[in-house]
Structures are given as structure tokens and as C-alpha cells.
Structure 1
Amino acid sequence: MKFKSSLVVSMILAVLAGAGATAQKTVDAVLNGTGLWLGSDPRERAGTLIEGEALARLSWQADAPAFPGDRPGSLTALYDARLAPGRFGVPLAEIWDQDDTFTAAAVFVIEPEGFRADPNGFFEISWGLWNTAQTGMNRTGNFSDFAADSFELLEFAWFPNVSDFFGGPFLSPALFGEADEASPLFPFLGGFANFAFGSEAATLPMGEPLMAVLEHRPEADAVVVSVHRVIQGGRVVPIPGAVSVIDLTTLPRRMYSFDALGLTLWQDGFSGEPSSLYARVTFHRLVAVPGRVNRLESLLHLPPPARP
């Protein structure tokens, strides 16, 4: 896709690959970025990644912009822990691995109507990056087999369940590395044999636009996940306490790569009745760019990569 010079200039002003980055590096970051464009129904678009039973959980709305910086169109996902799993997203413009710095972000609204998080359950609202050849559909394991097959997966994950015993809710991003079949734990845990996560108690507001940001910083041995409010004028302000860090040095085998970005709609192998989670989340933006982003507001204005 060719970009007009005026559009390139606006991109340069919007997205910065890092402090002191050259203009060319910034342009490269934009051109190699990925976004799920919602101006038309992405379920019917060529090139969209549809895995498992994702379509049963999604609805698209041709609605007007809902807040400053928004664009027409939104996609509502049903996080019901009892349903068959699926993933829905787009290919990355390039493959990223454990050595690459990149930033991904989603703008979404957690709908309060019908929301339920069972205090006796534990399940997530999630999105992230995965490897289409390696990441399976079993994220949780089950009572008869604890092994997960969700290898090479990096996720934003918020667990809204609150219990008297465990507390909550928790912002708990997770990283599954490549399958480590040499690990003595692999036959029993599968993906959890090469797994790292962060966890912080964090309450997220419902019924208002939020921006979740996932920063992969290998030079700092960290993945930093934060959540922010999108307020009047299109400004982004952090939610106190809504920051969680994955320490990459705790991953037993630090090898992984990603080629896709999107929504991860899992099934809870341990859920009974009622469902451990029932939530509708309306997504307004989902983007990923190489490098660091200095000003988070720029992610609200990042143009989509290309229309079909």
C-alpha cells in the first residue's frame, strides 16, 4: 500500500518508536504495524484470521464513533467460559520474537449489562499475540488433564473474579514460550512448563472506554501491561494500580515468536454452572507496532494498515 506524503507526516507525528528515534525508523514502525480495522465487518473480510469457534462469540456494529479519537464501527466479543474456544484477528506485518521490542494496544468497553464473574471461578477477558502454527486452543487444561497447548502466546488478561479466599480482581498478563518437551513437567503441564506471568490486584471500570497497552521490552527483561481511561478530548490517563509486569527472566526457556494479533476467546476447562465468567466487551481499536510508543494518545489516531 502506498501512502500519501501528508498521511506519512501525520503518522510520524502520531507514533514514535522511542526517544530520539529517527524519522525513518518511525515511518518504518508505522508501515510494519498491524491493526484490526472495524469500519466494515471484519468477520466477512478476506485475510481475517478465524480460528476455532470464534464467530459464535462475535457481533459487529456499524455504529458512530463513541468517544474522541474513535472511528465508526465496533466489534463485541462474548467472554463466556463455557463456550467452545476460538481466536479472531489479523496477521502481523512481520514475525516478532523474543528479541523484538514492540507495543500492542486495545481500546474497549466492558459492558455492565449482564456481566457476571463467579466468585468461585477464575477466568479472563483477554487479547494478545500468538503463533498460528504453534498456539493451540486449550488455554486452561481441565480436571482430567492439566496440560495446556497454548504455546507461544502473549496475552493481556484481566480476571474480574473476586473471592473471599483469593481476593481479586487481578490484572495478570501471561506469556507461554515454545513447547519445552525436555522439561520433566511437560507431560503433566504442557504449556505451563514454559510459562511466566505477572499479577496485580486491579479494578477496571465498566461502561467507559479503556486502553490496555502491552509493551514487550526484551532489553529490560520485561513485558509491561497497563490500563488507562480514555477521557474527554481523547486524552489517556492511567488507572491507579492497573500495571502488571512479566519478568522475562522467570520464563524457563526464553524462545517464542508471534505472527498474529487479535482476540483470544478461551473455554474454561474447570468451569461449572454458573459460568466462571460471562462478559461482553466492545472493542473499538486493536493495534500493534514495532518499537516503543512515547505518547499513548497516538495509538488512538494510528491509521489502519490497509483496507481490503
Structure 2
Amino acid sequence: MREIVATRYVTPLREGGSLPGIVEADDLGTYVMKFTGAGQGRKTLVAEVICGQLGRRLGLRVPELARMRLDPVIGLSEPDQEVQELLKASGGLNLGMDFLPGSIGFDPLAYEVDPEEAGRVVWFDAVINNVDRSWRNPNLLVWHGDLWLIDHGATMIWHHNWPGAATSAAKPYNASDHALAPFGPEVAAAAARLAPLVTEELLTEIAAEVPDEWLIDEPGFDSLDALRRAYVEPLLARAATVHERIVLDAPTRDTPSRAPGWLAERLTPRQDRARDVRTSDVTAQDAQDAKEGGR
């Protein structure tokens, strides 16, 4: 990955749980920046690099990633205290993702995806165990008429519990709620085409792109090479056989998300959030009316 330097903080993106921001860099480009000081921690950035770079190597549309240096001084004029604190906590190396100006969020009612492309995306998400590309939160953009994949921080769930990694990585992938499930994804064809490309050499090369400072002090590993190897092995195994364990049933629209707890708020459907806000407002108004009526 290229290394660039952030020169101006433009604005926060409040749709994600990690509060990424749009920044300008010394190459005159504009990027979505994800911060090491965010509450989800460095592992989110590790997942972004490994899975994002794997997607790009497989020919999927993932915005270019870059190592981005941040001097917290650029946030001194930021009026939002939460953003200021985030910038102060994220000095040094962070992750930049190429900003796609004019892109729009994917809407399955407005954009048709052919079964072949849907199959490639579903298969890829099965390999990396992406729990964050559901109808609740597609993490897909449409840019210049093409489908782009973003936000891979909620992948490889096993790297949050290395002792159980082998068991976790061997589990099936339930794609029933996947954003592209309604388009009849041709998973077997995708596996036949893409699985042979996921080699040990490719994954080792991708794991080497993760900055050392995002991997240090990981319990249970005596070297960074051993930790990088731990990322390679489950992905290599899943790429070979996970297509046999992909479940595509009716979507579970009436059941809660089964994502990890730290993703629960982020995966809440926007309409549910709006309804909760409206309900809260009505309740507050009722209380005020009752109070005034009792005077």
C-alpha cells in the first residue's frame, strides 16, 4: 500500500460506528480515514487491510487502500469534541480508503445485480466471514453504475479470539440475510473461478501489508510472522471449501441480528432507529403534556 499524509480533516462520517472521517492528503487526493483510536481498535483496521486487499486481488471493486499518517494537530480547529478526542488518540499511522465522490448507497429496489456478480460477492464474504453486508446494512456503494464493496472491519471474527479461531473459521456461512441474496447468487461458479486464486503465497503477501504497529502485543504469539501466519491459515482453508457450507434460506427479517455485540447498534436498521427516536419524542411530549395538564 502507498503511504500518504493527511493534510486536512474535512468532515466526519456519522453512519459508521467507528466515526470515520473524510480527509485530504498530500497527494491531493480525498480519502475516508479510519482511525486507530476508534473504539473498535486496531483489529478493525487489520481486517480492512487483509480483506480489502484480498477483494481487490480477486477483481472485486474495493476502493484503493493506503497507509495514512496523521498529525493530531490538524484537528485543533474541529468544533466537535468527540472528533477532536478521536484525532488526538490516533496520531501516527491510520488507514485511508479512496473516497468515491458522488457514490450512492446500494438499494436493491433501484439497482439490479446479475447472479454472477452477486455470487462473487457472497462467496467472498463467506471466505472472510463478513457479518456486516446484510439487508440491514449493505456496505455497498454504486459509483458510475458499478457496485463497490466497502467496510470490511467486521470480518474474520475469529481474530478476536485466537484460541477458538480454528473452530470459528470452520463454521458455515449463513447468507440468508445477505444484501445480494435476492439476486440468485451463483456461488458455485464463483468458487470455481476464484478459489484457485486464493493461494498461500497471495495471502502471505497480503498479510505482510499490515503495518507492524497494528499487530504488536497480540497475546499468544511470539513473533509478528507467527501472527501473520495465523491470518493466512483460516482464509486459505475457507477459500477451498466454504462454498459447500453457504446457507441461502429465506431472510430472517423478524429476528434480531446475530452479529457480535459491539456491532449491534451499527447494524440496527435505519428505519428502526428513526422509529425509536419518534417513539422517544412522543413519550417525552406525552410526559410534558401530562405535567402541564396537572398544573
TM-score with structure 1 length normalisation? 0.26
TM-score with structure 2 length normalisation? 0.27
Higher share of residues assigned helix: 2
- Higher relative contact order, chain-length normalized (CA < 8 Å, sep 6+): 1
